[in-house]
């Protein structure tokens, strides 16, 4: 398959994979100049703006080889495709202020029984208003599944499936679904109060398609992305930073705070934004298993080798972790590099991965507004900071569903040695 990945009778293969521009067309023929709707490309998938965009942010994630369900990919590529879909969902949610449902109707079953709208495997990203129930996308009779194994087994058995995953939840799958044509698009159209416009062939909505591309292409190339610039800054000064932060500052209360979280939390601890791993190491010494996650590859590579520390490269806005898989979250100082909408997304992610009864600690620099500084030792690189008041942080936490156990402030040197006032919160996800 990999040797000849493109099927010439497949519209999506011809359009995207073979690089032929899309027709700005409808069922009755071309209605606009040709254009490419490719938004993003990885080694495994293409992300394109979906035709029939009833709302901005509508995307399709498709494998760059002709398969009829994402479940046909090997496990690594399957996981990659869904990881990209989830990451894009985060970006869409931020940019368009919506929620996003992932839906795939895999068509590896017998021809003729397939109800997919296109034969080439694709994951839909449906943006929908925050006030609506994402559960409307779930096919009646679906069962909850963890991970993606069920997609793979259905595909291997030559079965069709309908899979739906909502933010912060495991997926639901229906194998051998008997659903009306474009079922998910019909549900989507009615959620958006345009129930008669579900058919993408008749209503391609090209203006929304192009505006979606314009916005997301800009985001994905990271133009103006301050978080991306900050990460480059940390990369440039990684060894210096790791050295500076390898021991706790004198009279630091951080050690006590780590011990406190360790006492309160059961199960493994997520050190979210682990940096050089100083805090992870203390958790490990306290006998805890730690997932030491950072978005900067140089930090992950420099993490201390320890049986209890599991290094992980990842973004706190799209955690590569199962729901309810950790008992505690330690997020020290990291959120100060995120603007408020990113902090909201990160808190949703922390809430998702925490098991019921789990606890979380977060600290940020106290204040309002923002600041930009040169990375030390790398003056061509900038670090961006956002300041938060305790009320803002607790409001975000409560919106996500956290219980606020305690809020306090304290002075402590930051990684550059400057004494700073910090806001700290201790949160809990209610036990079921």
CA distance 305 to 303: 6
CA distance 258 to 282: 8
* x-or-dash string of contact with Zn ion, 81-120, rule CB under 5 A: ------------------------------------x--x
> With respect to Zn ion, which residue has the nearer C-beta, 66 or 197?
66
Question: What are 114's two structure tokens?
Answer: 């397939």
Query: Quick check: 10 binds Zn ion (CB under 5 A)?
Result: yes
> With respect to Zn ion, which residue has the nearer C-beta, 59 or 270?
59
Question: What are 398's two structure tokens?
Answer: 């409560």
CB of 240 to Zn ion, least distance (A): 48
> With respect to Zn ion, which residue has the nearer C-beta, 6 or 145?
6
CB of 139 to Zn ion, least distance (A): 13
CB of 418 to Zn ion, least distance (A): 53
> With respect to Zn ion, which residue has the nearer C-beta, 10 or 220?
10
* x-or-dash string of contact with Zn ion, 117-156, rule CB under 5 A: x--x------------------------------------
CB of 68 to Zn ion, least distance (A): 8
Among 7, 316, 333, 353, binds Zn ion (CB under 5 A): 7
CB of 114 to Zn ion, least distance (A): 11
> With respect to Zn ion, which residue has the nearer C-beta, 7 or 90?
7
Backbone φ and ψ for 21, nearest 5 degrees, come out as: -65, 150
CB of 182 to Zn ion, least distance (A): 7
Query: Quick check: 14 binds Zn ion (CB under 5 A)?
Result: no
Per CB under 5 A, the segment of 6-14, 81-89, 137-145, 305-313 that binds Zn ion is 6-14
Question: What are 274's two structure tokens?
Answer: 């682990």
Number of residues that bind Zn ion (CB under 5 A): 7
- Which residues, 28 to 67, sit near Zn ion by CB under 5 A? 66
Output the DSSP codes for 316-371. TTB-SS-TT-EEEEEEESGGGGS-HHHHHHHHHHHHHHEEEEEEEEEEEEBSSSEE
- Which residues, 280 to 309, sit near Zn ion by CB under 5 A? none
Residue of minimal Cβ distance to Zn ion: 10
329 - beta bridge partners? 270, 360
Output the DSSP codes for 173-229. EEES----TTHHHHHHHHHTT-GGG--TTT---HHHHHHHHHHHHHHHTTTT-HHHH
Among 13, 274, 326, 400, binds Zn ion (CB under 5 A): 13
- Terminal CA-CA length for the chain: 47
> With respect to Zn ion, which residue has the nearer C-beta, 26 or 114?
114
CA distance 77 to 381: 34
> With respect to Zn ion, which residue has the nearer C-beta, 7 or 242?
7
Look-up: residue for tokens 């730690």? 290
Cβ contact 216:366 at 8 Å:
no
CB of 187 to Zn ion, least distance (A): 12
Torsion of Cα atoms, 205 then 169 then 12 then 63, to 10°: 150
Three-state DSSP at 128 gives strand
Closest CA to 151 of 68, 69, 81: 69
CB of 4 to Zn ion, least distance (A): 11
126 - beta bridge partners? 101
Look-up: residue for tokens 């942080």? 393
Per CB under 5 A, the segment of 13-21, 211-219, 221-229, 277-285 that binds Zn ion is 13-21
CB of 88 to Zn ion, least distance (A): 16
> With respect to Zn ion, which residue has the nearer C-beta, 23 or 407?
23
Q: Which residues bind Zn ion (CB under 5 A)?
A: 7, 10, 12-13, 66, 117, 120
């Amino acid at each position: 398959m990999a040797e000849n990945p493109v099927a010439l009778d497949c519209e999506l293969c011809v359009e995207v994979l073979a690089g032929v521009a899309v027709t700005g067309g409808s069922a009755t023929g071309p209605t606009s100049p040709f254009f490419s709707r490719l938004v993003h490309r990885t080694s495994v998938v293409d992300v394109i703006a979906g035709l029939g965009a009833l709302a901005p942010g509508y995307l399709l994630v498709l494998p760059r080889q002709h398969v009829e369900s994402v479940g046909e990919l090997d496990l690594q590529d399957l996981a990659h495709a869904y990881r990209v879909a989830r990451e894009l969902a985060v970006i869409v949610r931020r940019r368009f202020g919506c929620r996003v449902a992932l839906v795939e109707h895999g068509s590896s079953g017998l021809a003729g029984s397939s109800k997919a709208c296109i034969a080439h495997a694709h994951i839909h990203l449906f943006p929908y208003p925050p006030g609506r129930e994402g559960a409307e996308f779930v096919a009646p009779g679906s069962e909850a599944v963890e991970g993606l194994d069920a997609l793979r087994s259905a595909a291997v058995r030559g079965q069709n499936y309908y899979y739906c995953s909502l933010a912060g939840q495991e997926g639901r799958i229906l194998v051998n679904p008997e659903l009306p044509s474009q079922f998910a698009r019909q549900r989507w159209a009615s959620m958006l109060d345009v129930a008669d416009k579900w058919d993408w062939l008749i209503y391609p909505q090209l203006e929304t398609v192009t505006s979606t591309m314009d916005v997301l292409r800009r985001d994905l190339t990271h133009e103006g992305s301050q978080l991306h610039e900050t990460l480059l800054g940390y990369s440039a000064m990684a060894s210096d930073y790791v050295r500076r932060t390898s021991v706790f500052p004198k009279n630091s209360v951080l050690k006590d705070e780590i011990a406190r979280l360790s006492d309160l939390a059961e199960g493994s601890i997520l050190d979210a934004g682990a940096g050089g791993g100083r805090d992870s190491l203390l958790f490990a010494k306290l006998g805890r298993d730690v997932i030491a996650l950072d978005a900067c590859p140089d930090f992950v590579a420099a993490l201390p080798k320890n049986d209890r520390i599991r290094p992980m490269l990842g973004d706190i806005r799209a955690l590569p972790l199962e729901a309810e898989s950790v008992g505690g979250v330690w997020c020290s100082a990291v959120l100060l590099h995120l603007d408020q909408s990113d902090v909201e997304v990160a808190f949703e992610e922390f809430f998702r991965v925490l098991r019921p009864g789990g606890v979380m600690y977060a600290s940020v620099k106290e204040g309002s507004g923002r600041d930009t500084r040169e990375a030390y030792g790398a003056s061509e690189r900038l670090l961006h900071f956002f300041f938060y008041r305790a009320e803002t942080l607790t409001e975000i936490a409560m919106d996500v569903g956290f219980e606020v156990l305690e809020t306090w402030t304290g002075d402590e040197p930051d990684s550059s040695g400057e004494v700073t006032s910090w806001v700290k919160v201790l949160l809990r996800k209610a036990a079921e």
